[in-house]
Homo-oligomer: A and B are copies of this chain.
Amino acid sequence: MVDIIHRVGIKAPLAKVYAAVATVGGVAGWWTEETSGESQPGGTLKVLFRRPDGGEMGSIEFEVLEPSPGQSVRWRVKAGPPEWLGTDVTFQLQQDGDYTVVNFGHVNWREPVDFMRHCSTKWATFLLSLKELVETGKGRPAPDDVKIDNWN
């Protein structure tokens, strides 16, 4: 098993960052505008991405898991790209002075395939989009996301 890990620091109170990660409206502001479903533990959260021509590029469904102690959010992939099935996406939040630090993981990939490399870089851009959303009020969710390679 191999993991993608990242860290960003957001100059804002923890509660504001938590709301951006733990609600459907929050996620729609930094990951993809087409976020739907339920963000409570036990619920199903869905994100959808489109090709430039408007067709569906792909979607992912998560089961929202009980958070670990402390302020955190955990999603388990139930449907989506085959490489994502069974992986978990986790956000652990911690106040550090003026900053809320987000320790991020997309963990339990079976192999370090090229698609995992792509997702690692792409997650960094989405976490910086989360930072921008909370600090300035405007993130860069898909379809306005940062393009990093010939795949997206």
Please tell me if A77 contacts chain B, counting CB pairs below 8 Å: no
For residues 107 through 130 of chain A, which have their beta carbon under 8 Å from a beta carbon of chain B?
112, 114, 116-118, 120-121, 124-125, 127-128
Given contacts A103-B117, A120-B124, A124-B125, contact A3 B6 (CB under 8 A): no
The size class of the interface chain A forms with chain B is 20 to 34
Please tell me if A2 contacts chain B, counting CB pairs below 8 Å: yes
A127 touches B117 (CB 8 A): no
- Among B2, B7, B128, B146, the residue within 8 A (CB) of A3 is B2
In the assembled complex, how far is the CB of residue A124 from the closest CB belonging to chain B, in whole angstroms? 3
Task: Indicate how many identical chains form the complex.
Answer: 2
Can you name 16 A-B residue pairings with CB atoms under 8 Å? A3-B112, A6-B124, A7-B114, A7-B117, A7-B121, A8-B121, A9-B149, A9-B150, A97-B150, A101-B149, A103-B117, A120-B120, A121-B124, A121-B128, A124-B125, A128-B146
